[in-house]
Structure 1
């Protein structure tokens, strides 16, 4: 491609630079305020070569902005060994009205993982597509510098005691391997240079020219974004081959109490052993529970974790998002809760709330919940591709069984707290929820992350069913059986 071999740049002297930059700075400060008022999340990504001047460029932007409204995140530190590689970046995305600058990003991760560039770039494209569709503005810069000038800046920095620490063995290695590094970055840029989120390639051979060009681009991109009409793509709905029907679930399945107790002890001991093996082999597990109100999710989870080491798992109850979570991408709070390697995260309700309660109760627009099917399966695929086990359960009970359990809760002092007015309201919309559930299962039950539908009219049967399924999925991953 050769896009980074072009050494031409905008040359500018200091006097001309200050004359050009001042009106751009004033405009950028104004646009920051407008973006905050309109609750637009803005993410600016800087990647580039060593000694390309990223620090000086970012600093010039910062002195222009209201310090209460921006955040700079330097991702130059090593990846956390216990976490999903992309997690540290996703945790730092801006919320509504926030202005974030990434000094190195998920693209640096792709660059470091030279043998896995293709997969990582595909993941990044899907993440950025999801962020863009949620209303985020993303502006991407790659700052390059010629090999000759890079070397010249190294020697100059070495003579300055305040800057000599920057000239590391890695920096010299980059200059020595300049050609291969440029080729790797060109490959990444080509794979991720999308129409709606393209790269801006800036030569910093002239630092004044680079700063001026970057300010101009940022101002133009934000202005254009604020003035454009919302365009929604038509291809947001994830297709499926065969519709699923909850009417096909056999709810008559039961297990004898004596047999249940015998099976429970055996299966819980097995889960405990497997939990230790997962920790030793550093495999993260996500167990996702969805189901009707009063379907028995809490009791089921209790039996799963009863003999597990409490230091190695988290039970994460999902309620309505708080104000901070509402300001972020709707998957943000789940990205943050991803388990460390070797740990288990059990979600009592999940990211599927987007296509269930938020759909039925109209907390999400039709466009938002329709596009969520694809975004959710992309997220789950990303987790699986990074070595995770994901097990998803839907606990199915009949409408009659639910009524029976609601009344039992109302009449039992120790359980009365479990029943709320919201439960009764949701019950009135059984038909709407049923339609949403069936579509959710149809569109998001994939080969790598299938839904397991649990007949749960009999709580004992449901608990044994879930324990057996968890054991089977973990053993399949550990031993290939």
Structure 2
């Protein structure tokens, strides 16, 4: 990849542009109309070393498409709400739903290059940004989204002329300090832009590099490319995303769940003493985390009736309600189904200093969706890597991540089911599906074991807790959360 190869001086006459434009615009509008009833969204990333060209192209898209069907976001200056969350939070939350076109100006490509040049993020950090970008694009494409990436390039000489004309022109486009910064670092932008394109080029999300010096040539190339991509996708041409094979284990791994000592209990006197002590300790740590801007994500998973709700209630009892949010996860809503799977979870990432607690989580893809057949084998197999990358982005941002699996045996589960049926304020918790799921216990155990083996990480560990005894489980959860926060703070 070398930008010099695109500096050809290509031009398009006004006469030819005017001749080709009317039919092209009609085609684009018709394709946009057809997209409204399609089962996928389109995401257009506009990036480059020519800010004026990028903004002009974005404006032209709002002119040639129906703007009512466009969701446009400019990712150039970081907002306060973005600084306290992982980088890709801002891109996930701005994704278009099925049937619409999203336009991201700058986006993840801009941030990777700008960070490498202006903040000296380092070669390894830049490479990591490219890896996250590639994973992001793979997840979106796997969900059905069509991604069009455009890099608009101008030579240093062309940019110098552009700024000279802007300085002499009292009307029309005016250069900003930002444009002078681009010119000053243009050589580095080209260098790292080439690395970025090479690192994120793929069959499912290819780059279109266009020389942007001549506006008519630029617009015609980009819009004809958009027409062809949209028409092909609507006709059923779906690029298959890369599905990495699951890593083979060197030997048959032991079942993590079957190694748990399910008979462990907490002494009642110790429980009454330890519970308030740990709650006070967590309250102090939560305030300290708030003051230092350290966010926390806690995931609770477990068999039905394993005591997740009770553990969460004891966990937060001493913590200010202003510092945490508990999010219960159930079947996806219509809005959530119109977006990629992880969209709803990314949107729930906590602000700096806050605690996000998930009662069930993104692991549903490799658990209930896998066992019940709601996800295809390709989807849940691919999800292991997607979830690892998701959590890696949290911890790289400085977020504390702790995951809990609460395990009970079949006899204890049945006892709790029967008790719920006779407890007025718990009757709502029991359904026919709970009893039906007992018939697939071994399938769930196998899915849980594989999940634990493939997604446990030092930066985002699983805590396996024997929960036949509720008191023991609640103390173990509190101890683990306090230990994780103490290590971070």
TM-score over 0.5 (shorter chain): yes
CA 1:167 to 1:201, structure 2 compared with 1: closer, same or farther past 3 Å?
Answer: same
Checking the alignment, whether the CA contact within 8 Å between 1:51 and 1:150 is kept in structure 2 is: no
Checking the alignment, whether the CA contact within 8 Å between 1:144 and 1:204 is kept in structure 2 is: yes
TM-score by length of 1: 0.93
1:384 aligns with 2:392: no
CA 1:293 to 1:472, structure 2 compared with 1: closer, same or farther past 3 Å?
Answer: same
Checking the alignment, whether the CA contact within 8 Å between 1:9 and 1:210 is kept in structure 2 is: no
CA distance in 2, matches of 1:306, 1:161: 63
- 1:296-322 Cα distance to aligned partner (Å, 9 max, x none): 111101111111122111111111111
Match 2:302 to one of 291, 295, 301? 291
Residue 59 of structure 1 corresponds to: 59
Residue 35 of structure 2 corresponds to: 35
CA distance in 2, matches of 1:363, 1:195: 27
| CA-CA distance at 1:161 after TM superposition | 5.8
Checking the alignment, whether the CA contact within 8 Å between 1:4 and 1:186 is kept in structure 2 is: no
Residue 437 of structure 2 corresponds to: 426
TM-score by length of 2: 0.92
- 1:138-196 Cα distance to aligned partner (Å, 9 max, x none): 111111223333233334445666645x4222212222332233223222222222343
What SS does the corresponding residue of 2:2 show, helix, strand or coil? coil
1:333 aligns with 2:341: no
Q: Which deviates more from structure 2 when the two are superposed, residues 348-357 or residues 154-163?
A: 154-163
Checking the alignment, whether the CA contact within 8 Å between 1:51 and 1:154 is kept in structure 2 is: no
Alignment of 1:10-25 (within 5 A): 10-25=10-25
Residue 181 of structure 2 corresponds to: 173
Q: Which deviates more from structure 2 when the two are superposed, residues 79-88 or residues 312-321?
A: 79-88
Match 1:393 to one of 404, 408, 412? 404
Q: Which deviates more from structure 2 when the two are superposed, residues 125-134 or residues 75-84?
A: 75-84
What SS does the corresponding residue of 2:228 show, helix, strand or coil? helix
Alignment of 1:24-423 (within 5 A): 24-79=24-79, 80-114=82-116, 115=121, 116-158=125-167, 163=172, 166-225=174-233, 226-228=235-237, 231=240, 233=242, 235-240=244-249, 242-423=253-434
CA distance in 2, matches of 1:315, 1:232: 34
Q: Which deviates more from structure 2 when the two are superposed, residues 229-238 or residues 121-130?
A: 229-238
- 1:69-126 Cα distance to aligned partner (Å, 9 max, x none): 2211112232432222221111111222221111110111112211231211111111
CA 1:51 to 1:330, structure 2 compared with 1: closer, same or farther past 3 Å?
Answer: closer
Q: Structure 1, unaligned stretches of length 5 or more?
A: none
CA distance in 2, matches of 1:463, 1:405: 17
Q: Which deviates more from structure 2 when the two are superposed, residues 444-453 or residues 232-241?
A: 232-241
How many corresponding residue pairs? 477
CA distance in 2, matches of 1:280, 1:236: 43
Checking the alignment, whether the CA contact within 8 Å between 1:52 and 1:143 is kept in structure 2 is: no
Checking the alignment, whether the CA contact within 8 Å between 1:94 and 1:328 is kept in structure 2 is: yes
Checking the alignment, whether the CA contact within 8 Å between 1:392 and 1:450 is kept in structure 2 is: yes
Q: Which deviates more from structure 2 when the two are superposed, residues 278-287 or residues 419-428?
A: 419-428
Q: Structure 2, unaligned stretches of length 5 or more?
A: none
CA distance in 2, matches of 1:183, 1:235: 29
CA distance in 1, matches of 2:4, 2:61: 24
Checking the alignment, whether the CA contact within 8 Å between 1:288 and 1:347 is kept in structure 2 is: yes
Q: Which deviates more from structure 2 when the two are superposed, residues 437-446 or residues 225-234?
A: 225-234
CA distance in 1, matches of 2:442, 2:464: 18
Checking the alignment, whether the CA contact within 8 Å between 2:138 and 2:241 is kept in structure 1 is: no
- Aligned-CA RMSD value: 2.1
CA 1:209 to 1:148, structure 2 compared with 1: closer, same or farther past 3 Å?
Answer: same
1:463 aligns with 2:474: yes
CA 1:32 to 1:244, structure 2 compared with 1: closer, same or farther past 3 Å?
Answer: farther
CA distance in 2, matches of 1:421, 1:43: 42
CA distance in 1, matches of 2:69, 2:171: 29
What SS does the corresponding residue of 2:83 show, helix, strand or coil? coil
Q: Which deviates more from structure 2 when the two are superposed, residues 50-59 or residues 391-400?
A: 50-59
Residue 448 of structure 1 corresponds to: 459
CA 1:125 to 1:422, structure 2 compared with 1: closer, same or farther past 3 Å?
Answer: same
CA distance in 1, matches of 2:127, 2:140: 20
